[in-house]
């Protein structure tokens, strides 16, 4: 109980970032990498470095020539170059331009 109270003081939202990611297991997730790359897939698991196991993956690369999409079965994504995680996947109407 004491530990929990301490946690609540440090994190008034009552939800740790890792708990949020944990709630995404089994659902679609949209991963925006540092650089011009995005990855969409079903989250199967992750570790303390936020390396992630993803299934039915689409890798979206935005280059000068346009978009290139690679489909992959199951991947282990290195957490090192992840910038942003969006639970629920990528909405259809987002085309990558701001």
Chain contacts with another protein (rule: CB under 8 A): 19, 22, 25-26, 33, 35, 37, 39, 44-47, 51-53, 57, 59, 61, 71-78, 80-81
Residue 88 three-state SS: coil
In the complex with another protein, the residue whose CB is nearer, 75 or 86, is: 75
Please name the residues in contact with 27: beta carbons below 8 A apart, sequence gap of 6 or more.
42, 43, 87, 88, 89
Closest CB 7 distance from another protein, rounded Å: 14
Closest CB 97 distance from another protein, rounded Å: 22
Closest CB 54 distance from another protein, rounded Å: 8
Alpha-carbon Rg for the chain in angstroms: 16
Give the separation between CA 33 and CA 62, rounded to whole angstroms.
11
In the complex with another protein, the residue whose CB is nearer, 33 or 90, is: 33
Please name the residues in contact with 38: beta carbons below 8 A apart, sequence gap of 6 or more.
30, 31, 32, 59, 60, 62, 90, 96
In the complex with another protein, the residue whose CB is nearer, 58 or 91, is: 58
Closest CB 45 distance from another protein, rounded Å: 4
């Amino acid at each position: 109980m004491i530990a929990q109270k301490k946690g609540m003081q440090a994190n008034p939202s009552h939800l740790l970032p890792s708990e949020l990611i944990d709630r995404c297991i089994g659902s679609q997730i949209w991963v925006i990498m540092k650089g011009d790359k995005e990855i969409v897939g079903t989250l199967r698991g992750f570790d303390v470095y936020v390396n992630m196991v993803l299934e039915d993956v689409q890798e979206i690369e935005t280059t000068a020539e346009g978009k290139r999409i690679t489909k992959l079965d199951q991947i282990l994504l290195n957490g090192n170059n992840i910038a942003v995680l969006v639970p629920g996947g990528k909405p259809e109407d987002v085309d990558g331009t701001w």
